[in-house]
Amino acid sequence: MKFYDPKPLGDATRDLLGQVATATLSSQLVKRGLRSTYMQTPRPLNPKAARFVGPAYTVRMVPAREDITELAFPTDPDFPQRKVIETTPPGHVAVFDCRGDTRGGIVGDILVERLRVRGVAGLCTDGAVRDSAAVAEQDFPVFCADVTAPYSMIVHQALDDQQPIACGGVTVLPGDIMVGDIEGVIVIPSPLADEVAADAADQEHLESYIFEKVGEGGSINDLYPPGEAALADYERWKKERGD
Does residue 37 contact residue 26 with C-beta atoms inside 8 Å? yes
76 CB-side CA count, 13 A: 8
Q: Is pLDDT at 9 greater than 60 in this prediction?
A: yes
Q: What's the rounded mean pLDDT across residues 26-41?
A: 97
| Residue in 172, 147, 135 with CA at minimum distance from that of residue 59 | 172
Peptide bond into 225 cis (omega under 30): yes
pLDDT of residue 2: 62
| Higher per-residue confidence, 69 vs 148 | 148
pLDDT of residue 81: 83
What is the DSSP track for 144-161?
Answer: ESEE-SSBGGGTEEEEEE
Does residue 106 contact residue 128 with C-beta atoms inside 8 Å? yes
pTM, two decimals, is 0.94
pLDDT of residue 70: 67
Confidence band of 76 (pLDDT split at 50, 70, 90): confident
* Residues facing residue 171 across a β-bridge: 166
Q: Is pLDDT at 72 greater than 60 in this prediction?
A: no
Q: Is pLDDT at 1 greater than 80 in this prediction?
A: no
pLDDT, tens only, 50-68? 999 999 999 999 999 888 7
Domain map (residue ranges) of the chain: 36-188, 196-241
Does residue 93 contact residue 122 with C-beta atoms inside 8 Å? yes
pLDDT of residue 5: 85
The CATH superfamily assigned to 36-188 is Ribonuclease E inhibitor RraA/RraA-like (3.50.30.40)
pLDDT, tens only, 163-194? 999 999 999 999 999 999 999 999 999 999 99
Q: How far apart are CA 184 and CA 145, in angstroms?
A: 11
Confidence band of 97 (pLDDT split at 50, 70, 90): very high
pLDDT of residue 153: 85
pLDDT, tens only, 117-138? 999 999 999 999 999 999 999 9
